[in-house]
Structure 1
């Protein structure tokens, strides 16, 4: 059986300063990968990278605004230089802004499009350029995009978020097809995390209550748990373990796939 050992791999996790991204970075490091934390939040990002180093991992912080082409163009060479290569990009950075459709703010939709869709698209672009033959790293590798169970279900209050996370699913599949067709040697997959009580997940529950969909944040979270066959919310390590699997040689013949990590909620 192929193991999930990532020794010698070099990974970039966007939005890696906190929440799911920090958990994914930690799991990749525990599996043996060297990890770069890419984030706009420099102080927290540096603390996260330092915590990984304190635990014995190779980890660096790289300033990265995923919505900015120039930021990507600067960050990728910095990662390659700092880690000695690049084998994996986890496009995790994302934002969620809750709203009823009748109250949608165009600025909120544009922000989610910029971070969730454009940010992922630019991540794919620069990952491909670095990892394909002749690139700065040039040994192929993998990209894991973080979609959401919101891409597979209809849940009130998250129409804009659902739309952008659905777009990530389509980006994943087209990118996988292009990589294979053009011989890049880069596998591209995504995961659909279920609701997880991170800062973002807790804020979503609070916002759903604030706009009148549920009597309280606790009731919103309970409603999600009741829609989930496993009867609970997700945990950060549930999502992180899935990323490690898709990054490993155990998934070497998997590309263009979306892996639900939602306790069955989106089935």
Structure 2
């Protein structure tokens, strides 16, 4: 088995201004990736797993912020029915992307390798069957043309608690917290054991786990986007080297060149030039 890939972090300590500039650069490349997926009828699946409050949902939102809504879906499945629990892979096969579509999973079929055995939501037999079959299932999908990326967002125990407190204190985020989060927290070491087993037995050359330190949400978001951009768009993409893509216009007024304008500034000056030419 191939070891999971631990991403390096070129964004360590990034400030908010540079974060927004880099996020926009990466989102432009992600939009180009989506256009290729649509034009070539490809199928792409990006999954995000990790503990509660690891930043899965917020990372997906940054991925999709500038994408064409018609050609992507976000899948976040609830508690499985007894039938879905029995036919585990089929539950997720129904949600996989169609041609020309990207699907993002906020938690994936790997619930059966992580939270379900930790919390006792599945039997030992169900867990062992999943661990035995999952890579063969993924390899078959990949051989059939599916582009699959598996992210695991890793948050430490102290940072998770900070985020729980933030949720409880925020009237717009309190609903994200439940008592079950605290119950799962008490099983931290048991979850860690299953996580390590998952990495050991379900990472391969075709389908590696990509582990991302998510103690800083903004760094994790950029690192995930950077990995996808390098994998499917530009393997030589260099972080933090571009100009703000919103400031790439220039115009000359009365012999003076105005550069690095945003679109609003550019249009305003163009109108001024137009009025002058009519006099």
Does the alignment reach a TM-score above 0.5?
no
| TM-score (normalizing by structure 1) | 0.42
| TM-score (normalizing by structure 2) | 0.40
Larger relative contact order (Cα-Cα within 8 Å, sequence gap ≥ 6): 2
